[in-house]
Structures are given as structure tokens and as C-alpha cells.
Amino acid sequence: MISLLNPFLLFLALPITGLLIWAYRKKGDGKRFQFGSLFLLQQIQERSVIRRRFSPPPRFFVELLFLLLTVAALSGVMLRQEESVIVLLFDNSESMGVRRTSGESRLEEGRVLLTEWIADREQRGGAPRYRVFSLAPQPRELSDLPLSASAARTVLSKLSPVAAEEQIEAGLQIAARTLGGEEVVLVSDRAAGEVVFSEGRRFHHLYVGSDTKSDSALPKNIALAGAEYLSSSEAIEVRLYVSETTTPKFSEQEAIVTLSEVSEKDGSIVLKDFRRNRFTFEQSGEHRFRFKNIRDAQSLHIRVQYSHDLLAADNEMWLSIRPHRQRIVLSAESSAEELGLLLGGGKEIRRSPLVLPLPPGEDGSVYISERRVVPLEREEIPPGIHVLPLRKGDTVEEILPVQAAGKLVRAQRGHPVLDYVDLQVTDFGQVSPLIVPEWGEPLLETEAGVIAYIGVPAEKPVVITGFQLFPLRGEATPFSTIFFLNAMKWITTYLPDERKEWRPGGPLPERFSARQALSFATSSDQALQQVGERLPLERSVLVSPARDDVEGEIHFFSPQESSLSPPPLGGQRFSEGSAASPEQERPLLPYLLLLILVLLAGDLVASSLSLRYRGEAA
């Protein structure tokens, strides 16, 4: 069966053949007679010019064959046998990029499964051809023509997850409409919907997901699960979480916990280590130990170091120890309007009269006053990120115009634990639920709450204020908290120093002094606010609204762990939102052939042109 990639190019054969015939007629059959001067003969040309039969030499046919073959090559003529066609639907959505503890992603697992399936199918004979479709962001065929098994494997090897949802149903419908598709193979971590295939077609679903393999081995990780100040005993109890049980060497069972005093000097944070303990663990799970003789009214920084730790993001914690048992940051009489919480998609947030009880635990826990806030529409604020605008002054006289910050992006491809939200493109009032795999949850249990604020006034710098940790109360920490913690941690760690114009713990710079700073964080059912005071000592940062300094890469974890440009899963990496396509690898051969054709035609024409006579006008 003959097929053509570019059938319209076959029309080139007609003018090319005509051109060649014209050139040969002009050129003649090669018998030439040198004449002194032709001008006398030209005068009698009209009556005696040869009307010859066209009898080209053999060279003509060779050249014609060459040209026609060139045209055929340009047209992409292909000869293939009648064969069965198998439709391969490959889910390349973002969820397929989730990696197992072994480091293998679902996409890689699916690729292996599909490759094995193809190998089995090849062994059954028939030499079927494959039409490969990717399912995200839209179902699209990755090649213009059905592929061989090896070509299909090559195409599959270039697939990478894209930040979009898969379109399984649409893909199946395309497969149902695809002519010649006798078998349909779906590779996905999601269940396929109901698709009715015509008779004679077989459907295979190669399922990849968390339930297809048992995750027996968790990554080695030590995390600070929490820290509490025990005022009665003047001690800090640190809780560590160890994720792995078996370690081959004794040296791998030892971590170092360091306690540093946080102070401000010349406008910058200074950490002064004053306690360091070695911590030996033999079992996974939670471990507790105490630092004694710790006075209150200070800010501390706790970090744990473990040489084989796979996730460094959860290894530190900031702790503010206040002399008072409860620190009321938000006045009970303050209205929601005064708090500047009225903006954002009609979600009016109102402070609730309900005062939550103090968390159970030791006396003197690090705790900041909290108030329940609920929207006027009785709509609970879902967990996630809430971005609110800054205000001028203490009253709600003028709300600074806010600048749309873009869209939510979940694009942390290949990260072993978490998705993340790009702060630079997060919209105001936007709630960004984070998707965390089940097996990653134990790691998330280890972190603490956070107060954070992100505001983007128009034509003003983005202000991201600091965060305040508070210990867990025995329940799962919201993912958004983890996110905020790590986001702030990254920003304060990796942002260039010159961008840290706003010194943490100090007043706002003069040009921002008229502006009231807010801190805000949410969990599943509570909000924490801070108004009208100097921000906590912990960390603050000022970044440019141009976003140029953090646009390229945003690491909420360590760069090694969560690079925005992870190495490709295999083969060529494609741009986000697109899938591998042979069109991007169009070979140069057709263009070279076209060039040869043009040159040849030009040569034929040039050789047929007559020169002017001596004395004739040019």
C-alpha cells in the first residue's frame, strides 16, 4: 500500500517534467555545428527552423527518473503492507510524574509496561503498526503515520509529564474513531471511563499507580515534627520523625540536632549555635528529647542534620518563645473590614466571636492567638493559600489596587513528595489545594503551622512577610502550612541578598512605612492574623514585582530536590504543555532534495538561455 506524507508535492512532477522536456528541446539532440556568425541564418529562421520530433537521448530519461524520484522523496511516498494497527493511549499528565520511593515515576513504570506489552504483541506475529497518542493536555497523535514497534518505543521514550490533566475519555473516543485500530491500549494511573468500541476491537488497560506496587521502603528521612517550650522546666522538647526502619550501618543511625539563638544584628538575622546534641535512633517513628535550661523570651532556630536525609526541607524550625502565655495579636473588637480581609472574589471574611481553646499540651507552648474567621456567605474557607492585598493605614479608607498574579501552577514534576504552588503566579484569594500522594503523608506530618502573607500591590514590590511556627496539636498539619513553610524557607534562603531590603524584625522601609503589614495563614478551619505590629523576628523578604529574580526557578525545597528543570525521564525533554511530536524532528533531507531540485532546474534554464550578439543592444 502506497501512502504519501505530502501528496500535493506530487504536482511538482508535472512542471519539472515539462521543464526538462523544454530544456532538451531547446538543447537539441547534441548534433552541433559551429558557425561563424549566425545573424544571417537567423533572418531565415522563421521558415527553416526545425520542427523535429522529440527524441531525447538516454540521459534525458535518467535525469527525468532522478527528478521524479526526488519529487517522490519530497512527497514522502511510502510503501507498506496491509497490517493491523494498534492504538496506544499514553497518559502523560502530571500525576504520572509522581515518583515512587524507589525513584521510578509512574510514567516510567507505564513505559516499561507498555514496552513489555509491545514485545509480547510482536512475538505473536503480524508486525502490527502503532499509533501513539498522548493524553495531556489534549489527546494528540505523536506521529503522522503508524509506527513500527521500535519507532513507537522511541516516541514513548520522549514522553514527559506535562502540567495538565489527562483526557482519557477523549482519547478513548479518538481511539474508537481511529480507522484500523484493532486493539486499544491505555496506560494511565486513572480508571478509564465507559467507551464502547466496535466489535472486533480489544481494549487493554495497563494500570499504573500507587496500588500497583507496594511501597515497602520509605525514603530515608528525618524531620522535625515539632518543638514545644516547657516553661515549667525551661526546656524545649523536640520531636523528630524518622521514616526508615532499617539502616545498614550504625553510622547511619545518628543525627545531630542543633539549637541556635536567633537575633538581629545590623538588620540581618544572626544564628548563634548554643546547643548541639547527637541523636541516635534505631526505629522509625517519632522520637522526643529535650534541651534543658532554655530561657524564654527569645527566638530559636532548630535544625537536624542527617547525612542520608533525602528531604532537607523539613529539617529546621523557627521558634518564638514569648513570656506570656497568650499573645493577642488581633483585637477582638477589630472588624473584618479593618483587617483588610474583604477583598477577593466576593469572599468576605468575618472574624468569628468564637475563641478557640488553647491547644492541649504543656503550659507555655509557643502559641499565637487565633480567631476563627468565616465568610459572610457561611462558606468555609477551604484549606490552601489565601492571598490578600495590603492596606494603607489602620483603617479601610483605601484599598490598594491589587494586581492579578496569574494562575495556579502545579508543575513540580518529578518531585518525590510534593506538588507546590508557584507564588509568583498565584492569584489573590486563590485557594490552591495541594495534591500529596498517600505515601508522602508521613513526611508531611512532621511540620508545623505557619503565618505567612503574600501581597502584590500594583506597581509596588511584592512583600512576603515572615512566618511563625507553632507546634502541632496531634493532628495532621494542613498541607498548605507545609507549603508555606517551605516557600518561605526557600525564599529567605535563595533570594539574593540585595533583594532583602526589608530587614526582618524591623520596621518597614520608609517608602513602605505608611503601609500596614499583615500576616495571614490558613489551615483547614482557622486563620491566623497579625495586624499593626512589627512583624515577627523570624524571616521577611522583599522581592521585586517584576518577578525577574525568581521567575526562572523557584525551589521551595533544596535545589537538588526540587529543581524546576529536572533531568528528563528519558530521551528528549519537551516543553511544558506539549508532547513529543515527530514534527519537531523533521529531517533536513527533504529540504536538501528541494535545494538540489532548484539548483538543477536553474542549471537547465541557465544553459538554455541565449547570449546576445556582438553589437546588439543588451
Could you list the residues that contact other proteins (CB under 8 A)?
A: 26-28, 30-45, 48-50, 52, 610-616
Contacts of 514 (CB under 8 A, 6+ apart): 392, 393
68: part of which helix (H) or strand (E)?
helix 58-75
Question: What does DSSP assign to residue 319?
Answer: E
Do residues 419 and 412 lie in contact, with contact meaning Cβ atoms separated by under 8 Å?
Answer: yes
**Cell of residue 78, nine digits:** 511510502
Nearer to other proteins, 31 or 124 (CB): 31
Report the nearest approach of other proteins to the CB of residue 31 (Å): 5
Do residues 252 and 281 lie in contact, with contact meaning Cβ atoms separated by under 8 Å?
Answer: no
Question: Residue 446, exposed/middle/buried by CB under 10 A (0-12, 13-18, 19+)?
Answer: buried
Report the nearest approach of other proteins to the CB of residue 608 (Å): 9
SS (H, E, C) 460-498: CCEEECCCCCCCCCCCCCCHHHHHHHHHHHHHHHHCCHH
Do residues 120 and 547 lie in contact, with contact meaning Cβ atoms separated by under 8 Å?
Answer: no
Report the nearest approach of other proteins to the CB of residue 40 (Å): 5
Q: How far is Cα 9 from Cα 72, in angstroms, rounded to an integer?
A: 8
Q: How many CA atoms lie within 13 A of 15 on its CB side?
A: 8
Nearer to other proteins, 8 or 35 (CB): 35
Q: How far is Cα 613 from Cα 150, in angstroms, rounded to an integer?
A: 63
Rounded to the nearest 5°, which phi and psi values hold at 22? -60, -45
Residues in the chain: 618
Nearer to other proteins, 510 or 616 (CB): 616
Report the nearest approach of other proteins to the CB of residue 10 (Å): 33
Report the nearest approach of other proteins to the CB of residue 64 (Å): 21
C-alpha distances (whole Å) from 161 to each of 99, 398, 559 are 12, 45, 20
Nearer to other proteins, 333 or 616 (CB): 616
CA 558 to chain centre: 16
Report the nearest approach of other proteins to the CB of residue 602 (Å): 18
Nearer to other proteins, 24 or 453 (CB): 24
**Cell of residue 400, nine digits:** 490598594
Report the nearest approach of other proteins to the CB of residue 16 (Å): 23
